[in-house]
Every structure is written in structure tokens, then in C-alpha cells.
Amino acid sequence: MIRIGVIGYGYWGPNLVRNFSQLNDCVVKTVADTRPGRLEALHKIYPSIAVTADYKTVLSDAEIDAVVIAVPVFLHFPVAKEALEKGKHVLIEKPMTTSVAQAEELIALAEKKRRTLMVDHTFVYTGVVQKIKSVIASGEIGDLNYFDSTRINLGLFQHDINVLWDLAPHDISILNFLTGEKPVSVSATGISHTGNGIENIAYLTLHYSNNFIAHFHCSWTSPVKIRKILIGGSRKMIVYDDVEPTEKIKIYDTGYSMRTDEDKHKLLVDYRTGDIYIPKTEQREALLGVAGDFVSAIRENRQTLAGGTAGLEVVRVLEAAGRSLREKGKEITL
């Protein structure tokens, strides 16, 4: 049995505890949180799980094999570093760290200690995203032209990170998982309406060495909740709407072709509109897949689907986006 310690029982902590508790080959031994009320709520549901207000109690427990870190982002690096130094396997909430240097240090430390380091990029474990990846890999939609993401809602305002660091990791991790490509430059614009200098609306664009481009719209101040990704291929196009309860993916046999009218010296566009196909996807809780992959990777001494390197690549984009925001949308080379 892999014995788990969870540090942080706030917004995401209950979901982590619930999913790890469902696995047969691990047990949640201890949960740490500084708020007595949160620990009391946990104890009512899971009376067998030990609780503590000091996370160091979890790290110093020799019986605990791995820790799951669900604390504010600015604490990810110091807590994860201390856990790795104590010989624990580590799963961190997204984003992995607040800088590229921190992410690289954790990766190096995990390799030195021969411990699993994983980031909670939950969406890459969904049946929907894995189906999209298989469709793209099959060549059905042709060459990728664009990736256009909208992730907006009203709240939750964060006090330590801007809206890009809060929401964009989901879709950047999806994009990286689907394509395996790295952008060559980043540009971002945004604004803060709260007077604290933390952007609540932002637009991020990733530029690639080929004709592919990716764009992200993130907001905490939208009257409606939208979670939609459009993927354009040279043959077909995909719409992924995560708010839809059942028909989350639609593949459109839609496209265009270009030709030149030599007599008129004009570029002409021929449009094609065909059928819409709704593929069947596996229905499962993605976070259970995250928990299962983490525990299995520890037992089998293998890499996870969302390891430290995947977390680093997301942080690399976000760090560059922060520079671009500060320089009013300047394109930052990666």
C-alpha cells in the first residue's frame, strides 16, 4: 500500500482525498491544514484519516510515501522541495511553480532522489481530451492550423496570481498534450479592474515555427461560464465544449481551399460544409485517473502522463506571458 499525505484541504483538497481514497492500492494517512474548521469537516467524513495543523508533521512521518500538495501557488515550490528532500514522492496542483527556475530545481531534485514528481494537469486524463488526441494523431483533421481557447466565468478572484496563472494552465497543458510542440514566442495583454495590479482579464497568444497559432482568452469577470476550445485542421475542425453535459466533442467536416483567378489576379476561397460527427468518449472522473497514474508510477517506477517536465513547459509559457504583460504585449522569445 502506498501511504499518502495531503497538504491543504481547501477548494481542491476534498476532491483529492476522495479520489485517492477510492484506490485499492493506496491509503490517505494524514491531511494537514491550518484551519481547524476544515479539519473538522474532513474528520466527519473520514474519521480514520489523521489530521494536523502542521504540514511538517506529514513530511516527517516515515510511514508516508508520497504527498499531495494543494496549497496556494506561492507555497508550491518550498513545500514540494522540502517533501522531496524528505524522500517523498510529490504531486503538485497546477501551476507547478511560480518560475521556470523553481520548476527546474524540483525536477533535478526529484531525479537526484529518484522520486516521482507529478503535476495535477487534470484535463489530460479526461476521456474527451484523450479522444481528441487520437483523432489528431490519426490524421483525420489534417495539419493543425490553430487552437483557440476561451475559459471565462465570474470569479474566483485569486490574491496571489493573475487570471492567466489561474486558468490558462488547463488549456496550455491540453495543447501541449495534443501537439507535443513547443512555441517559439509568447505575447500577452491584460488588465486589472481591482486596483491590486493582478490581471482579471487576459489574452495570450503562442507563436510556433510553422503556420500553427494558439490563442487563449481568460477572465474572472464574465457573466457566463464558457469552457470552449476550437481546433482547426486543414481537413476538419473540432469543437470541444466542456460545459456541455454529454456532447462535449463535435467534429466538423468543414474547411476551405484557396485558388487564384489568374485573369483577375485575385485570391479566391472555396468553402466546404459537410457533416458533423459526435464521437463517443469514455466517461470517467479525470482526477481518479490522476490519482491512479501517480500511485501506479510510484509502484512501477515509471514516468506519469503529466510529469515534472510537462509542468515546467506550462510554467515556461506563463513566465514569458508575465513578461509580455508587463511590457504591454511585447512578443517574448522562448
| CA 130 to mean position of chain CA atoms | 14
Indicate if the alpha-carbon torsion angle 93, 98, 101, 105 is positive or negative: negative
| Calpha distance 320→330 (Å, rounded) | 10
Pick from 259, 237, 18, 59: nearest CA to 136: 237
Query: In tens digits, what is the pLDDT along the chain, a chain of 334 residues?
Result: 999 999 999 999 999 999 999 999 999 999 999 999 999 999 999 999 999 999 999 999 999 999 999 999 999 999 999 999 999 999 999 999 999 999 999 999 999 999 999 999 999 999 999 999 999 999 999 999 999 999 999 988 988 899 999 999 999 999 999 999 999 999 999 999 999 999 999 999 999 999 999 999 999 999 999 999 999 999 999 999 999 998 999 999 988 777 766 655 667 777 878 899 999 998 889 999 999 999 999 999 999 999 999 999 999 999 999 999 999 999 999 9
**pLDDT the model gives residue 263:** 57
Burial class (CB in 10 A: 0-12, 13-18, 19+), 283: exposed
| Calpha distance 247→226 (Å, rounded) | 15
**pLDDT the model gives residue 264:** 56
Q: Are strands 89-93 and 117-120 parallel, antiparallel or unpaired?
A: parallel
**pLDDT the model gives residue 159:** 87
Query: Given the C-alpha cell 459537410, which residue does it identify?
Result: 274
**pLDDT the model gives residue 231:** 98
| Calpha distance 314→206 (Å, rounded) | 12
Single-letter residue type at 74: F
Query: Is residue 230 reached through a cis peptide bond, with omega within 30 degrees of 0 on the bond before it?
Result: no
Burial class (CB in 10 A: 0-12, 13-18, 19+), 166: buried
**pLDDT the model gives residue 260:** 67
Count, residues in the chain: 334
* Phi and psi angles of residue 279, each rounded to the nearest 5 degrees, phi first: -75, 155
**In whole angstroms, how far apart are CA 72 and each of 162, 256, 280?**
13, 46, 36
**In whole angstroms, how far apart are CA 272 and each of 138, 233, 234?**
21, 13, 12
**pLDDT the model gives residue 283:** 85
